[in-house]
Structure 1
């Protein structure tokens, strides 16, 4: 019998989806599962855009240009201008979701065996794409105690080797919700210029930064990074349109754009209907986005408040996106998440979280941490937090320290 490739046997499993069979089994037994494990919002896809999209006339769903429909790319230049980013349509390449943009970046900018530095915890699929591209992720650890702020320049310097080609960040961050400050961005800019590296920023949660004041900074605003900066973008979370599968890679480096365009031509075309919908969503979207941002802020506040009230739980206030990474009084988050689905229920329901280790590259980290995606409405989040609080009271794998905290009635926040 022919053997499958080593690549397919060893590619990392998605921490968001590997527990799906257990969730399906729980549902088959009649339990309701509150899905806080994956970034699938329950917010309506931009309703007015959907209405416009349904009225579009077309007879043949043909290939779009490999770099995307021209009118959509032109519309994106206006969108980016809102954030002080001046780019042309030729500097935007439309992709099949942000996922393809990540893979295209890695394939175009790094050779097999090259290294990319990524602050951990990070979006777990970076590991998978790096595996496919045969490059090495070098993790630099950030910590929950300081809200997962960016590590120091000295910490980055210790990770740089002759094989280092790029640094990759996500801001606002998935899975932590951290938003990097202008000072942290300037530090990264100095590092990549000094060591002649690429800087790739996944900015798909750009609209969802909750601090008052100026919009979140983009690396495309940083001076002197014209040849270094690459932005990954997507409509999935912005407009609650995860199924549209429309993303973008944006940069000003002509060599990168030429390389990415070669890969884009090989896969022929990004999704045509998705681009048509995305262009509709760009029209008069500011009121919709403002409402969605307010909704997520309320959801963030709900989850943060409830976590603070749970004995033994350590958390922080996320600055953006719709994720919170929390430390729980448990011995193994993988076992805890499996137990929630297989053995626990409260008032006919349970909750599904994403175990922490899947977001780290360093072995042994995240064993007492989970990611919570606050993608459900506030009422459902309250019920999900009720489930989580009850589960932590009876979980057999509670740590000894957690049992002492629970018995004394004290809480850590």
Structure 2
């Protein structure tokens, strides 16, 4: 029998999606499953985006330009300028979601065997993207005890080798909800300039910063023009996860021209999704104000309820719509499967994402889960109630 590649065997399962078959079986048995595992907002997609697809008069659904239409990229520059990020259309490559933006970025700046330093826990697919490119993730561990703040600069510097090509952050963070301060971004700037590295910032949750905090983009930093690479997406901003439109933004034209070659190889981003994304840029600011207010209330509800459970420790997120909770269990993978397979309360159960998949360090995160507060407040309260009852039974 032909053999599967080493790369294929190393490719990790998604902690967010691997338990879906158990959730589907529960539903077939009449159990209502509250999905806390995935960042799929229940916020309505802007009507202007839906109407743009519904009401278009396209007769031939043709290829788009490989780097995305100039009209869309020009509109993106206007959006970024409103966020004090000043770029032009030639600094942008449109991709099929933020995932492809990361794959193109890693492919453009690394060779097999190279290394990327990432504060962990981190978005689980960073592991998969790196393995697909033959790149080694070098983790620097942040702690729930200090809310997953940026590790000390010394922790980064002792990990840098001749194979190191970049530092990658997610800001605000998935899965932690941590929002990096301007001072922390400046510290990272000093490291990448000193060691001549790229600084990749996954900023797809830019709009979701809470408690009066301001998101600080790497693209705002003077002196980082040849080092900063920003990853972006419409998925979370406009609740358009299914559109699969993202982009790479950088003022480093050698990097951008390289990324365009990857874009040409996959032909083009999806045309209908580009139309929807272009229209979504006309969404009024009031949309985001209402969404942020709703997420703050959901976060407060979730954190308050989780803290009522004995033995649970939870970080307080300042952005995005996730939190990491430490549970009184030894193996959150086992617990997350058990709660779907063997537990329900009044025909209801919950689905969470085991946090070990958000680490690359063996053994880390084994008693943690990521929870996405993308449900309404009553459903969140009910979900935590079920979680509390499940923990009591599981630990017996």
**Fold match by TM threshold 0.5:** yes
Corresponding residue of 1:402: none
Q: Distance in 2 between the 1:381 and 1:47 partners? A: 26
Displacement of 1:331: 1.2
Query: Per-residue deviation at 1:162?
Result: 1.1
- For 1:187, what is the secondary structure of its paired residue? helix
What is the Cα deviation at residue 340 of structure 1?
0.6
Structure 2 residues without counterparts, runs of 5 or longer: none
Provide the rounded CA distance (Å) in 1 between the counterparts of 2:375 and 2:395: 28
Deviation, 1:70, is 1.0
Secondary structure, aligned partner of 2:200: strand
* C-alpha contact (below 8 Å) 1:72/1:275 kept by paired residues: yes
Equivalents in 1 of 2:61, 2:293: separation in Å? 37
Cα distance in 2 for partners of 1:161, 1:91 equals 29
Mapping 1:188-227, distance limit 5 Å = 188-212=188-212, 215-227=214-226
Note if contact 1:353-1:372 (Cα within 8 Å) is conserved in structure 2: yes
Shift of 1:26: 0.8
Gaps of 5+ in 1: 398-413
Moved over 6 A (4+): none
The answer for the alignment partner of 1:151 in structure 2 is 151
Deviation at 1:9, TM superposition (A): 2.3
Where 1:168 maps in the other structure, the secondary structure is strand
Question: Corresponding residue for 1:374?
Answer: 373
> Helix, strand or coil: the match of 1:166?
strand
Indicate conservation of the 8 Å contact 1:74/1:89, yes or no: yes
Asked whether the equivalents of residues 116 and 164 of structure 2 are also in contact (C-alpha less than 8 Å), the reply is yes
Give the drift of 1:56: 2.2
Contact 1:53 1:280 in 2 (8 A): no
Question: What is the deviation of 1:217?
Answer: 0.7
Once residues 346 and 108 of structure 2 are traced to their aligned partners in structure 1, the CA distance between those partners, rounded to angstroms, is: 51
CA offset digits 1:199-229 (Å, max 9, x no partner): 000000000010215x311000011000000
What SS class does the counterpart of residue 361 from structure 2 fall into?
Answer: coil
Name the counterpart of 1:410: none
Counterpart CA distance in 1 for 2:315 and 2:118 is: 21
Bigger Cα displacement from structure 2, 291-300 vs 172-181:
291-300
State the 1:370 CA deviation.
0.4
1:233 shift after superposition: 0.3
CA contact (8 A) 1:323 1:373 kept: yes
Q: Normalised by the size of structure 2, how large is the TM-score?
A: 0.98
Query: Is 1:273 the equivalent of 2:244?
Result: no
Q: Determine the C-alpha separation between the residues in 2 that align with 1:52 and 1:163.
A: 46
Q: Does 1:299 align with 2:298?
A: yes
Shift of the alpha carbon at 1:7?
2.0
RMSD (Å), alpha carbons: 1.0
Q: Which residue number in structure 2 is paired with residue 59 of structure 1?
A: 59
Distance in 2, matches of 1:356 and 1:49, equals 34
2-structure distance, mates of 1:70, 1:36: 38
Work out the CA distance in 2 between the residues paired with 1:293 and 1:88: 28
Deviates most, 186-195 or 43-52: 43-52
Displacement of 1:393 after TM fit? Answer: 1.6
1:401: which partner in 2?
none
1:8 counterpart SS class: helix
Post-superposition shift, 1:292?
1.2
Does the residue aligned with 1:232 lie in a helix, a strand or coil? Answer: strand
* Contact 1:67–1:94 under 8 Å retained in 2: yes
In the TM superposition, what is the alpha-carbon distance from 1:386 to its structure 2 partner? 1.2
Note if 1:22 corresponds to 2:36.
Answer: no
Partner SS state of residue 159, structure 1:
coil
Report the CA distance between 1:176 and its aligned residue. Answer: 0.3
Kindly state the Cα deviation for residue 356 of structure 1 after the two structures are TM-superposed. 1.2
User: CA deviation digits over 1:205-259, x for unaligned, max 9?
Assistant: 000010215x311000011000000000000011111000000000000110011
- Structure 2 counterpart of 1:344: 343
Q: After superposition, where does 1:12-411 map in structure 2 within 5 Å? A: 12-212=12-212, 215-396=214-395
* Corresponding position of 1:11: 11
CA distance in structure 2 between the aligned counterparts of 1:274 and 1:60, rounded to whole angstroms: 15
1:316 CA drift (Å): 2.5
Deviation at 1:295, TM superposition (A): 1.2
Tell me how far 1:288 sits from its aligned partner. 1.2
Q: Aligned-pair distance for 1:46?
A: 1.1
Which whole-Å CA distance do the structure 2 matches of 1:149 and 1:343 have between them? Answer: 36
Structure 1 residues 281 and 347: CA distance shift in structure 2, 3 A: same
Instruction: Tell me, in whole angstroms, the C-alpha distance in 2 between the residues paired with 1:155 and 1:211.
Output: 29
How many Å separate the matches in 2 of 1:284 and 1:178?
A: 26
The answer (yes or no) to whether the contact 2:7–2:134 under 8 Å persists in 1 is: no
Distance 1:394 1:3 in 2: 43
